[in-house]
Amino acid sequence: MRVGVPTETKSGETRIALTPAGAHALAARGHDVLVQSGAGDRAGVTDADLAAAGARLVSAQDAWAADLVIKVKEPQPDELGLLRDNALFTFLHLAANPAVADALVRAGTTALSYDTVQAADGSLPLLTPMSEVAGRLAVLAGAHHLLGPHGGRGVLLAGVPGVPGARVTVLGAGVAGSHAIAQAVGLGADVTAIDLSLPALRRLDERHGGRVRTLASTAHAIAAEVEESDLVIGAVLLPGRPAPVVVTEAMIARMRPGSVLVDIAIDQGGCIEGAVPTTHDDPVRRVAGSQVYAVANMPAAVGVTATRALTNATLPYILRLADGVDDAVAGDPALAGGVNVRDGRIVHPAVAEALGEARTPA
């Protein structure tokens, strides 16, 4: 099979969907690996490394024309014309990207999304590594924007002897949230975790030895904690569905001026009211006196680390798909859950519901 890897074109994106190790594994199975020249430059992956591993360096058009196209982020507006009736494997977040969904349907693409590949235990094996990265980055981004020169309150996240650290509230105790919590605790912040799941809160309490304040999620609890926080991190996820808005503009208006909110869920529409997708070049917007950081591809800030973390998880699935998309999907329920669009229809139930489309079985 021809496996294509185009250069990512989303603003500030630095990752590549395949490493030399992945190219070697595919080539060893007899597949033709077509990588757009320069695709890995910002992730520390050179053309020479990929060529030595068995890849052929090609144009963007040739990469997109492959039987299986693998990417990191959803197709951008200038890439929609390159879609065709092949297979595409990437992060799609279609519930928040109806224009992309429409283009995939029109092109007849078999589109599989990393973020809806779901194991039998409910875990999301391909989203998990990027959630880990985003959770840790959220705390670093928040700490940066709390600094006075960057528009913040002038609060040091860690504090110093005699002065407490910043108050940090994390909404959601899943993968991204738990990594944000661990990072914030490690830096010496005063941390509160809010989640609907009491078992998740118990695990946090045990893991951090009581150093994290835990609260069951209610609108009242969220409002009270947000108002007192220096940094709020929204890490709420409903796979395949738009993120619920859990922080309102009215809550933000009661925060101290210069406070910071980080919306990790912005790829799925965002969980903070007033948040709009931003870029690494222009990452924050002012909402009621606070700064809202809502970069839609946060892990791209650490492209070398993020590329390796992502491809460690995706490569086994890529190898199966390259050996035959239909057989791979039929033989792996987790991978079948990744199918969002097929035969000109939106087939993932949650995505179809979010976009108001008729549901058809994958």
Output the CA–CA distances (angstroms, integers) from residue 312 to 106, 178, 263, in the order listed.
32, 21, 26
Whether 97 and 259 have beta carbons less than 8 Å apart is answered as no
Identity of the amino acid at 171: L
Rounded Cα–Cα distance for residues 5 and 43 (Å): 14
Beta bridge partners of 341: 111, 346
Rounded Cα–Cα distance for residues 300 and 8 (Å): 10
* Long-range residue pairs from 41-50, CB within 8 A, at least 24 positions apart, any chain: 42/13, 42/14, 42/15, 42/16, 42/303, 43/14, 43/15, 43/16, 43/303, 43/304, 43/306, 43/307, 44/303, 44/304, 44/307, 45/16, 45/19, 45/20, 45/307, 49/20, 50/18, 50/20, 50/23
Sheet holding 284-287, edge to edge: 212-216, 190-195, 167-171, 231-234, 260-263, 290-293, 284-287
Rounded Cα–Cα distance for residues 47 and 222 (Å): 48
32 noted as active-site residue: no
24 noted as active-site residue: no
| Residue of 190, 195, 263, 267 with catalytic role | 267
| Residue of 93, 145, 179, 348 with catalytic role | 93
Angle value at C-alpha 45, between 44 and 51, nearest 5 degrees: 160
Task: Catalogue the active-site residues.
Answer: 93, 267
